[in-house]
Amino acid sequence: MAAGCCNHQPKFDGMSAGFRRALWIVIAINAVMFAVEMTAGSLAGSQALKADALDFLGDTLTYGISLFVLGMSLRVRATAALFKGLSLAAMGTWVLGSTAYQVLVLGVPSAPVMGVVGFLALAANMASVLVLMRYKDGDANVRSVWLCSRNDAIGNVAVMGAAAGVFVTGTAWPDLVVAALMAGLFLWSSVQIIRQALDERREGLAAGLA
């Protein structure tokens, strides 16, 4: 009986001062790292760094949306999460397309720059993950924040692996493979967010009609 009751408890909707503070912290971290990593990606000629920088930008914008809709109706929060899921899918598609283009105009990225910036970005994202750890479960709006932060940390480890691969092989292929894998992660996370958001939109609509 107890387990059944727990399954029907409302999901955490982000309405706490602690969660708001956590969002402001990770918004600042992501905004700074977007500028750093996009600049480094352009200088190093690394698609993986650019893909990760784009993820930082997406997180900065979507965390801002998450903060804005806190306290609003379930339907509004779910709609915001749906927008974030679609944006994540768009980012994944862009990364796949730009990676395919890079294959045709192949250039070897700078492994040392990739490694150093990848490590810096990993440190920044691990800080974000630790700040958000206690809020990893919740409604689609809250959960999308956690999934984006998790993706960032995974992506940074992958970028560092790509840097090692580029250094060892002297080719751009490790960088391109990692960029493609990160695009796949974006797309899969977008599917998870969109599914939950659509379910919650239906739930919110039903509650409004009741």
Which residue ranges make up each domain of the chain?
15-209
Q: What percent of the chain has pLDDT over 70?
A: 80
Local structure of residue 12 (DSSP, 8 states): P
The reported pLDDT for the residue numbered 136 is 66
**Please, is 19 exposed, middle or buried when counting C-beta atoms within 10 Å of its C-beta (0-12, 13-18, 19+)?**
buried
Band of pLDDT at residue 6, cut at 50, 70 and 90 = very low
Q: Average of pLDDT values for 154-168?
A: 79
Closest CA to 112 of 154, 57, 167, 50: 167
What is 15-209's CATH number? Answer: 1.20.1510
The reported pLDDT for the residue numbered 58 is 76
